[in-house]
Chain A
Amino acid sequence: MNVIPAILGAVIFLIAAPLLGGLLSGIDRIITARMQSRRGPPLLQPFYDIAKLWHKEKVFANPVEGIFTAAYLILTAAAGAMFFAGLNLLLVVFCLALAHTFLILAAYAANAPYSHIGAERELIAIMVAEPILILLGVGFFMVTGTFLVSEIMGAAVPAICYLPGVFLALFAVLTLKLRKSPFDISTSHHAHQELVKGVTSSFAGKTLAKVELAHWYETILLLGMIFLFFAGCPVIGLIVVIVGYFLEILIDNIFPRVTWQMTVKSLWIATLVFGVLNIILLGFFGGLI
């Protein structure tokens, strides 16, 4: 393992991800507003929001909220840093799951009914996403013989050639992971979702700012995973990431009333049909390709 590029990757991620993530969130809100014939907030609104939240009074329903959301932020950032340092993909996935566990615990601890339901539904979101994230790691291993992101990046043939099904399933699950759909789970900024902010409904001030910041880190990490499929062709990779993100916004606006039950079923069917089938075919015919 090369130490210097690894440290560099991690540091760049830790600094640049919140900036990029915030910008992306700003663009997202403008595009969404235009799709709904609204004007939308200024591009830098997400940063203004965070700055404002940071200076609010410290108020909470349960003192452990602060430490739990800090854990969510730090572990999400750590997962992303490890990913961009080129370390073990599977452990990155596990670290991300650990981070989310803390977010859920924070929502539980708030002890309000809306927050509790939000926590339960966030938990369902984790459960839905878990299989494809594991299959993602395994799929990359089957193609490149390693879990190390740095070595996957150096693969001769982009992994998308072998893992189109896994890619599609991951893309489907991204609607959930990017907090787009379903409307009764997510915590994004859309007007039609404000009543059901679920998991964050009890957070305020710094606590909420930390969750928001962690979400930016996570967005960049997930887009990094999409990019990993196109290792070796950075231009195509970038285009796919941008188009992909736009499509997620579009999907979100086309299906504003998808419920969590529908989400669980449809995403697991997608995982089974695309992801599992892809892995099994790769397992049986791996030698032939």
Chain B
Amino acid sequence: MYSPELITIILLLLVPVAAAALLALFKPDIIRNTIVTLASVILIGASVFLAVTAWSNGITVVHAAIPWLFTALFFVELAVAVIIFCLAVKYKKPLAIILAVVQAVLLLILEFSGIAHPQAEIVLTLSNLSLIMVLIIGIIGSLICVYALGYMKDYAAHSHDVPDRRRYFFAILFLFLTAMFGIVLSSHLMMLLAFWEVTTLCSFLLIGYSKTPEAVTNSFRAVWMNLIGGIAFTGAVIYLAQMDPEASLLSIPNLLAIDNVGLVTIPLALIALAGITKAAQMPFSTWLTGAMVAPTPVSALLHSSTMVKAGVFLLIVFAPLFSQTWVGVALALVGAFTFLATSALAISQSNAKKVLAYSTIANLGLITACAGIGTPSAIVAAILLTIFHAVAKCLLFLCVGAVEHKIGSRDIEDMDALLVRQPVLAVMMVVGIAGMYLAPFGMLISKWAAIEAFINAPLGCIFISILAFGSAFTVFFWTKWLGKIFMRLGKPVAEETKLNPSEKISIIIIGILVLVACVGFPVITAEIVVPYVAVYYAFYTGASGLFAVDTLMMCSLMFVILAALVIAAAVGSKSGRIVKPYLNGRAVNAEGEFLGSLGVYKEAKTSNYYLEEYTGESKLLKPSQIIALLIIIAMFVLGIMGVLL
């Protein structure tokens, strides 16, 4: 007899696969729309149902008897390596060929070296962290798929040189979701590894969707970097497997409960490396910035609910172990440094997708830093950052994608007066940007939680100093983007403001989710995040500072003020005379153009500061990568030495 939880989990894992198979078969738009909508509704419903039943009944694990599962997963992993190998041969990419071969060999060693397979019964974890991730993947991931329906239709119409392979595209999109559900629900490392490899493959195929030379290059960059992570992960599994004949340490709860952490610092360092590559931390950040060649739904998926979140999920899961080792401190340093460097790099970018990409990497850096520190309050901060980042960043990507199709550019300099040209999208974009960095919204609350967590951490003062400068950069690049949206409001409304219904629904629902998550943060923290941390730290009862009456009061006050201002802006008096912009005494004509020195009237144009000479990629990227690489090497040295805190 299957329990309702198990049935829901099976639904979550199999519905996307089934949808993928059907989507790969049928070409007509109407069938695709129906399948995607239906599958998304089922996934959203199932993930919410799973979370609610598990929380209300206090269920944390589910047992299932699937004896053939591990053999099947082995073949899946092997298939991933073979597909990557074949494509690498086809496109003549030696690095990817070598890494795919190494990965396959390691898998064969793992399979045939006589390491005990887990018993017939497998255990799925329903920890609060897993459930949060299930909700993020189920709701946000599905909404992105719905959004993709409208977006890809436009995309196919706009880009004639790219063959329309939408069947393939949607199939992989849904496979990706299955793999993500698998990662967050696994409680066994071998199972997790299999799904991990599938996400590498899916992201690789999606990045290369358009098959342009740039897409091919970037997809192979993504795959070789992620293969390094996969190889490190496999290495960690092999290391842990041979530690005892039962291979009991491959079970994540057993590994987390280990008495002598000194024995596992090497696999911990390997797992940290796997997390770093997947979460696109320096020096592996370039695969994620390169991934923006893919259609926007792919970026939204990679950045918000899948892929990079798998990386930080793994790091957060092992945070209690990181907290006891110097490996963790080094990992945290990689994250903090990445936060600083990529926040600065984001200043120099005017391409909206690139700014978003750097901001993602920066926030993942902050999460990595929290996970590496691994104290209870740091884990709380890491989980909050993960939640708020997922919703806000998803919203921003979806907006940028839709705006790009409407105004024909993704350059921030072209987004002036967006508020009158594309009102719905602009308002949602403002919500997303505010959600990313302003008080009293989610990311800022989480950043503040991170500050509290760093204060008591080893080397905490260094982390805080890095954070202080990093957030200064963050303020700079977000505010200048925000400013652009409000500029030149005299411009006429764009001819075509009507959004595709699938895009509109997804964007508005996620916009509402951003606000709900911000208002609901005390509940989320108290009811879900803190109990998760309390499992590993029995003494931990709550993030004190976050719940003090005074802080909640201050946040509410700011909310009330902002809400009152929004209302005042909508209903307030519109009296007053609108004049032409003030040009400090230059002669202007009726259109507000100024009289140039040759007697011609010209429009006065200014653009934002990008501080290229300080923060340009050519200045910062190389040195940052070298520094990050040195920290990673130090992490391995510390791992091999096995020093504990």
Query: Which residues of A are interface residues toward B (Cβ below 8 A)?
Result: 1, 57-64, 66-67, 70-71, 74-75, 78, 82, 87-88, 90-91, 94-95, 97-98, 101, 104-105, 107-117, 119-120, 123-124, 126-128, 130-132, 134-135, 137-138, 141-142, 147-148, 195, 201-202, 268, 276, 279-280, 282-284
Contacts and interface: CB of A to CB of B under 8 A. Distances in A.
B160 interface: no
Contacts of B582: 61, 110, 112, 114-115, 201-202
A87 B550 contact: yes
A70 B448 contact: no
Chain A: interface secondary structure?
Answer: helix
Contacts of B440: 94, 98
B25 interface: no
A101 B430 CA distance: 13
Given A109-B487, A130-B468, A282 B448 contact: no
Contacts of A97: 438-439, 475
B165 interface: no
A280 B608 CA distance: 35
Contact of B554 (A82, A120, A282): A82
A163 B465 CA distance: 15
A134 B468 contact: yes
B31 interface: no
A133 to B, nearest CB: 8
B237 interface: no
A119 B480 CA distance: 9
Nearest to A6: B550
Contacts of A75: 558, 561
A127 B584 contact: no
Given A58-B575, A63-B574, A95-B554, A134 B580 contact: no
Q: Which of B459, B464, B545, B608 has the most CB of A within 10 A?
A: B464
Interface residues of B, number: 63
Nearest to A131: B468
B578 A60 contact: yes
A220 to B, nearest CB: 19
A95 B554 CA distance: 9
A238 B321 CA distance: 50
Interface in B254-307: none
Contacts of B484: 108
Q: Which of A91, A110, A202 has the most CB of B within 10 A?
A: A91
A130 B608 CA distance: 20
Chain B: interface secondary structure?
Answer: helix
Contact of B550 (A1, A94, A138): A1
Contacts of A141: 455
Contacts, number: 194
Q: Which of B460, B461, B484, B574 has the most CB of A within 10 A?
A: B461
Interface in B97-137: none
Nearest to B472: A130
Interface string B459-481: 11110110111011101100110
A58 B444 contact: no
Given A116-B606, A127-B473, A67 B455 contact: no
Given A61-B578, A108-B487, A134 B482 contact: no
A109 B419 CA distance: 11
B432 to A, nearest CB: 15
Interface stretch (B70-78, B144-152, B211-219, B565-573): B565-573
Given A94-B439, A98-B439, A279 B464 contact: yes
Given A87-B550, A87-B554, A124-B476, 15 more contacts: A1-B549, A1-B550, A57-B576, A70-B568, A71-B562, A91-B551, A98-B439, A109-B489, A111-B488, A112-B581, A115-B581, A123-B475, A124-B609, A201-B582, A202-B582
Interface string B484-514: 1011111000000000000000000000000
A112 B488 CA distance: 9
B483 interface: yes
A98 B445 CA distance: 13
Given A58-B576, A67-B569, A98-B439, A127 B483 contact: no
Q: Which of B462, B469, B471, B472 has the most CB of A within 10 A?
A: B472
Given A62-B489, A134-B467, A134-B468, A127 B475 contact: yes
Nearest to A94: B439
Given A1-B550, A128-B472, A202-B582, A74 B561 contact: yes
20 contacts: A62-B486, A63-B489, A70-B565, A87-B553, A88-B545, A91-B448, A94-B440, A98-B438, A109-B487, A111-B488, A112-B582, A112-B583, A114-B584, A120-B608, A141-B455, A142-B461, A201-B584, A268-B469, A279-B461, A279-B465
A100 B116 CA distance: 61
A90 B468 contact: no
Contacts of A74: 561, 565
Contact of B604 (A94, A98, A113, A134): A113
A282 B464 CA distance: 13
B468 to A, nearest CB: 4
A61 B581 contact: yes
A157 B350 CA distance: 49
A194 B468 CA distance: 33
A62 B582 CA distance: 11
B423 to A, nearest CB: 13
A123 B487 contact: no
A216 B558 CA distance: 20
Contacts of B606: 113, 116-117
A284 B581 contact: no
Given A78-B561, A130-B472, A108 B578 contact: no
B479 to A, nearest CB: 5
B390 interface: no
B483 A105 contact: yes
B92 interface: no
B579 interface: yes
A60 B490 CA distance: 12
Contacts of B608: 120
Nearest to B465: A276
B579 A59 contact: yes
A280 B465 contact: yes
B451 interface: yes
B557 interface: yes
Contacts of B486: 62, 64, 105, 108-109
Interface in B428-465: 438-440, 444, 448, 451, 455, 459-462, 464-465
Contacts of A59: 576-579
Contacts of B490: 62, 111
Nearest to B570: A67
B579 A60 contact: yes
A172 to B, nearest CB: 15
B621 interface: no
A67 B571 CA distance: 11
B588 to A, nearest CB: 10
B483 A108 contact: yes
Contact of B581 (A127, A128, A202, A268): A202
Contacts of A128: 472
